[in-house]
């Protein structure tokens, strides 16, 4: 069952009601509690107990043990469900509350409204809740970028092994520098031949993308590129096809590099292919 099906106020209130009822009458089972609650007052009888039972089975009764503050209870539960189920609106949280709201079904938005998470102006508790959720998925994206970068590096190492063999240097092996030193300014140390046939070191920065054809270049990488030009290059990999999308030398990179101004210095530049 998806987050959109669980994050409905009738489902969450049903789960809270079941936990309260079984705590008050520990001898009864959940089905018996459902039957009794459905025979009770209308505001309790109409709750969605079918999905509430699924929610309790998945997330446990402890999550729905009320602390006496309904808004705080809802905030806690919504956060846990969002982190576990990763709905689109939660993934949008790092871009701000409004962007998250745009991606949110109305039933889910109602839950957050009851939790005080769309109050205007937002209170301190609401700001903390949104910042906490955003940090969860911001870190998630960082991990995904790291894994994508590592995949690009691995593809580069394999490519260089084959290329070195093809140019008559089968005894030389590319070295995966980024594993040992992430601040080196390049990822792979390999070799190449110049026009005269002499062998020289080649420093390679590996970049990778999926879906959107772009990559990021840091100031440290650019300064390293300038230092070792023309024996520095960037390999850009398309992870969807596992293909080498482009090889960019220092002169081509230079056209994309911003300039410092006043007291400001650029740190990272995004380059679109």
> 14 and 49 in contact (C-beta within 8 Å)?
yes
Q: What is the pLDDT of residues 42-60, one digit of tens each?
A: 889 999 999 999 999 999 9
Name the stretches of the chain with pLDDT < 50.
none
Show which of 103, 118, 133 is a domain's final residue: 118
pLDDT of residue 271: 94
pLDDT of residue 210: 86
> 109 and 100 in contact (C-beta within 8 Å)?
no
pTM of the model: 0.62
Do 67 and 176 reside in the same domain of the chain?
A: no
pLDDT of residue 220: 94
Report H helices in the chain.
3-6, 9-24, 30-38, 42-45, 49-59, 70-85, 88-91, 97-102, 106-114, 124-166, 177-180, 219-228, 250-254
pLDDT of residue 43: 85
Do 161 and 67 reside in the same domain of the chain?
A: no
**Contacts of residue 217, Cβ cutoff 8 Å, sequence gap at least 6:** 205, 207, 234, 253, 256, 257, 268, 269, 271
Show which of 77, 102, 118 is a domain's final residue: 118
Do 105 and 154 reside in the same domain of the chain?
A: no
pLDDT of residue 246: 95
pLDDT of residue 242: 93
pLDDT of residue 171: 95
232: domain range? 148-272
Residue 184 Cα distances to 29, 43, 88, 168, angstroms: 62, 64, 36, 28
Do 175 and 88 reside in the same domain of the chain?
A: no
Q: Is there a domain that residue 176 lies in?
A: yes
Do 164 and 103 reside in the same domain of the chain?
A: no
């Amino acid at each position: 069952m998806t987050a959109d099906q669980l994050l409905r106020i009738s489902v969450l209130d049903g789960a809270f009601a079941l936990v309260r009822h079984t705590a008050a009458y520990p001898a009864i089972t959940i089905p018996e509690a459902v039957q009794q609650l459905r025979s009770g007052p209308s505001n309790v009888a109409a709750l969605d107990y079918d999905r509430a039972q699924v929610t309790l089975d998945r997330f446990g009764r402890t999550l729905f043990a009320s602390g006496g503050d309904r808004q705080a209870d809802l905030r806690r539960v919504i956060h846990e469900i969002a982190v576990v189920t990763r709905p689109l609106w939660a993934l949008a949280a790092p871009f701000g509350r409004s962007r998250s709201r745009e991606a949110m079904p109305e039933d889910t938005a109602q839950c957050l409204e009851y939790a005080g998470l769309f109050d205007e102006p937002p209170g301190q508790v609401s700001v903390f809740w949104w910042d906490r959720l955003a940090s969860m998925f911001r870190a998630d994206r960082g991990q995904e970028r790291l894994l994508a970068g590592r995949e690009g590096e691995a593809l580069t190492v394999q490519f260089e092994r084959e290329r070195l063999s093809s140019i008559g240097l089968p005894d030389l092996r590319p070295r995966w520098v980024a594993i040992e030193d992430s601040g080196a300014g390049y990822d792979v140390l390999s070799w190449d031949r110049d026009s005269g046939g002499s062998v020289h070191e080649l420093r390679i920065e590996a970049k990778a993308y999926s879906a959107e054809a772009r990559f990021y270049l840091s100031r440290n990488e650019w300064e390293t590129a300038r230092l070792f030009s023309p024996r520095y290059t960037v390999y850009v990999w398309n992870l969807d096809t596992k293909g080498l999308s482009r090889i960019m030398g220092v002169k081509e990179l230079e056209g994309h590099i911003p300039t410092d101004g006043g007291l400001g210095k650029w740190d990272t530049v995004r380059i679109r292919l």
